[in-house]
Structure 1
Amino acid sequence: MKHEQKQTFDKPPETVIRMFGDRRYFERKYELLGFRDIEVLEHEAAGDRFRIRVRYTAGADIPLPDFARKFVSGDITIVQEDRWDLAKKTGRLEVDLRGLPVKVGADMALVGLGKGGAANTLSWDVRCSIPLVGGKLEKLLLADIEAKADADLAASRKILADY
């Protein structure tokens, strides 16, 4: 299942990409979002390439129908990897929801907007391999991504003020 999301910023793409290429941004953002047990597993910054893998714990705070409760019960351990080509301002994020038979990822493209702003477009793709209920679980995950989008963007905008 596919979904597109746009994040807008009041600083130019050069400033926003500097933030997206900073390990501390990810640590701060996850803290602001209330995640627990945040650990940077890998981090590489070489030339125009940036990559970070972070593990954290999040609460399963969306209302789940009965069929989904056997897959999601309580907290979820998440491993997220973000990769950026800083020169092209394009990236990819992959989200591994430990214990769930789903694949979640998004291609990202950061572009300039008028008046010195920027927009990051995330093209999400959520796939679930469970027959019969997979599509329903995909819809739930996309709804959760959308529900958390405002908090994620607010945290990023707050951190961007320091760049």
Structure 2
Amino acid sequence: MQHETTARYPASAAVVMRMFTDRDFHIRKLEQMGLRRYAVLDHAFDGQHFRIRVERVVPIDVPGLLKKVVPSESCVINDEHWDAKALTGKVLVEPKGMPLDIHCMTAMSNVKDGCLIRYQWTLKARVPLIGGALEKFIIGDMERRANDETRLALTMLDDYR
């Protein structure tokens, strides 16, 4: 299943990229989201290429139909890469113990009132019969979490201006 989301920031792409490539930003964001069980597994930034790999345990409010394939809590590894000069990136999401393949391509661009980020997600459930329902549920959950993360990022944006 394909899904596109966007995020808008009232700052230039250079400012938003400065924030996104800061390890401390990611840690502060996780803590403000109320997540206490997380670990930064890898982080590197050479001035152009950025990578952060974070493992986190997240609660999931699972509807009845999907309780057999989705736990009420999941360990998820996000492997995020950005090319700070090209303003493009990719994200690989590894939900442990769930029959899902999730990744996305990202692109950041300057717009008249700031910056726009496009996330082009690809989700594939590896389970028969309820795979479509699982993909739709995960997309809804990802949208909610992405909106929360963007709201929190907006509160930290001034630290990078």
Deviations 1:41-81 (A, max 9, x none): 011112310001001111012x4132x10122321111101
Matching of residue 83 in structure 1 with residue 76 in structure 2: no
Q: 2:138 aligns with which of 136, 141, 145?
A: 141
How high is the TM-score relative to the length of structure 1?
Answer: 0.93
Matching of residue 56 in structure 1 with residue 56 in structure 2: yes
Give the match for residue 97 of structure 1.
Answer: 95
Q: Report the Cα distance in structure 2 between the residues aligned to 1:75 and 1:131, rounded to whole angstroms.
A: 22
Structure 1 unaligned spans of 5+: none
Give the match for residue 118 of structure 2.
Answer: 121
Matching of residue 157 in structure 1 with residue 154 in structure 2: yes
Deviations 1:72-104 (A, max 9, x none): 232111110100000001001111111001011
Q: Report the Cα distance in structure 2 between the residues aligned to 1:34 and 1:72, rounded to whole angstroms.
A: 21
Q: Which runs of 4+ in 1 moved over 4 A?
A: none
Amino acid at match of 2:118: T
Q: Report the Cα distance in structure 2 between the residues aligned to 1:143 and 1:162, rounded to whole angstroms.
A: 30
Structure 2 unaligned spans of 5+: none
Q: Report the Cα distance in structure 1 between the residues aligned to 2:27 and 2:108, rounded to whole angstroms.
A: 21
Deviations 1:94-138 (A, max 9, x none): 1111100101111110000104x0011111111111122111111
Task: Please say if residues 36 and 58 of structure 1, whose CA atoms lie closer than 8 Å, have aligned partners that are also in contact.
Answer: no
Q: Report the Cα distance in structure 2 between the residues aligned to 1:112 and 1:48, rounded to whole angstroms.
A: 18
Give the match for residue 65 of structure 1.
Answer: 64
Amino acid at match of 2:143: E
How high is the TM-score relative to the length of structure 2?
Answer: 0.94
Shift of 1:144: 0.9
Give the match for residue 21 of structure 1.
Answer: 21
Give the match for residue 112 of structure 1.
Answer: 110
